Structure formats: structure tokens, C-alpha cells
């Protein structure tokens, strides 16, 4: 049975609409990789992975 909790308590416990979903990303580029190539890789990651999955607010 689901427990009824107040809005304040749900926020404090980070549940329901107050969940924080995150992840970390780490890249290792070769020494000779140009700054432009690194920027392009990061931009592609943002445009192809992060932006399409943003929650609707």
C-alpha cells in the first residue's frame, strides 16, 4: 500500500516529482586530439543524447 506523504516530505526525500536523475560522463582523448574535435564530440553528445531526453516541464 502506498504511503501518503506531504509535499514537503516528498521533496526532502527526493521522491515522486522531486527525484533527481543524473549520471556522469568521462572521456579520454588521445594527446593529439584537437580542441575543435573535442568540442564537436561534446556538442554531438549533447544534441543526440541529452537534448532529446530532457523531461517536459
- Per-residue pLDDT, averaged over 10-22, amounts to 82
Query: Is the Cβ–Cβ distance between 41 and 27 less than 8 Å?
Result: yes
Question: Residue 31's pLDDT is what?
Answer: 94
- Per-residue pLDDT, averaged over 5-18, amounts to 86
Helices H / strands E in the chain, number of each: 2, 0
Question: Residue 41's pLDDT is what?
Answer: 94
Tens of pLDDT along 31-48?
999 999 999 999 998 888
Question: Residue 10's pLDDT is what?
Answer: 86
Amino acid at each position: 500500500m502506498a504511503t501518503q506523504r506531504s509535499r514537503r516530505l516528498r521533496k526532502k526525500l527526493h521522491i515522486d516529482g522531486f527525484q533527481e536523475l543524473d549520471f556522469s560522463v568521462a572521456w579520454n582523448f588521445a594527446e593529439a586530439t584537437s580542441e575543435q574535435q573535442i568540442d564537436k564530440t561534446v556538442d554531438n553528445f549533447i544534441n543526440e543524447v541529452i537534448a532529446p531526453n530532457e523531461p517536459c516541464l
